[in-house]
Amino acid sequence: IVHWPFSATQRRKLNWVQLAGHKGNFKAADEGTILKKFSENEMQCFEKLKCDALLPFVPGYHGVVEKDGESFLHMTDLLVNFDLPNVMDCKMGVRTYLEEELVRARERPKPREDLYRKMVEVDKDGPTPEEHSQRGVTKPRYMQWRETLSSTHTLGFRIEGIKKSDGTCRTDFKKTRSKQNVTQVFKDFVGGNSSILKSYLRRLSEIRQALQTSEFFKIHEVIGSSLLFIHDHTGNAQVWIIDFGKTTALPEGQTLNHAISWKEGNREDGYLWGLENLINTLESISNE
């Protein structure tokens, strides 16, 4: 039992929330920082971001550290300046797997029963008659099916999870797809606070502007990255770009547009299109 008054460390532990990924992937670290399980790919992104227009919008990066025999990326805890924060993770883009993952999944596309079961669990009408009779679904088929459930395909972003200041936490947005439902979730999240909404919109347009000038953004396929929305009762509201685990450099000389549609082979991620839809969603609430 923790008794009031809480120390800064205790407050942090109570506030900290992880809305995606495996629970073991994060550890608390020194005051105001956290550790995320090391990935070579994500580390390289953080290194490249050190001199990029996106730097003000990504968590501070403090290098690689070893703890209990494991490697971690040391970064700023974005929740630290908030008092009982409300947090939302929005995964950006029109797909959440890399083209190369799809190619790999196709190499030996044998029907898998575990994926069949996962599909049926979400939607018993998901599998085709043939998949039902063989009680199996291939990996590429499963990957593509999963994306059609949420707003990833239709809006270019999806809600991964929300934690509210009252402690309630929801990560059951797998089937939140329609613009109307997504709008309702955002409305609940900001609780009708128009000044918070305005701060979010201001920050999102700064992010859009930075993305348009970023060299990093131009030459990376940005997959599975999220915008993390954070606000609290003091009126503090921020948005940060997180999770570069799957953000992949393009071959030398190649660039992406990030707004045109994805056709397999063009590697487009729809990030800017999704951001536009996200901004429109918040604007529509703001104008009500």
Query: Which residues bind to ligand ATP, rule: CB under 6 A?
Result: 17-21, 25, 34, 59, 75-79, 87, 89, 224, 226, 228, 242-243, 245
* Number of DSSP helices (H) and strands (E) in the chain, helices first: 11, 11
Q: How far is the CB of 111 from ligand ATP (least distance, A)?
A: 25
Exposure on the CB side of residue 71, measured as CA atoms within 13 A: 7
**Binding partner selected for residue 19 from ligand ATP, Mg ion, none, CB under the kind-specific 5 to 8 Å limit:** ligand ATP
Q: What is the CA radius of gyration of the chain?
A: 20
Residue 59 vs 127, nearer CB to ligand ATP: 59
Closest residue to ligand ATP in the complex (CB): 21
User: Distance (Å, rounded) from C-alpha 178 to C-alpha 187?
Assistant: 14
Q: How far is the CB of 36 from ligand ATP (least distance, A)?
A: 6
Residue 161 vs 270, nearer CB to ligand ATP: 161
Beta strands (DSSP E) in the chain are: 26-28, 33-37, 61-67, 70-76, 86-92, 157-163, 169-170, 220-221, 226-231, 237-242, 248-249
Q: How far is the CB of 42 from Mg ion (least distance, A)?
A: 8
Does 43 bind Mg ion (CB under 5 A)? Our answer is no
CA angle 234, 238, 242 (to 5 degrees): 140
**Binding partner selected for residue 75 from ligand ATP, Mg ion, none, CB under the kind-specific 5 to 8 Å limit:** ligand ATP
**Binding partner selected for residue 269 from Mg ion, ligand ATP, none, CB under the kind-specific 5 to 8 Å limit:** none
Does 17 bind Mg ion (CB under 5 A)? Our answer is no
The neighbouring-strand residues paired with 92 are: 157
Q: In 3D, which of 62, 11, 55 has the Cα closest to residue 35?
A: 62
Give me the residues that bind Mg ion (CB under 5 A), please. Answer: 20, 226, 243, 245
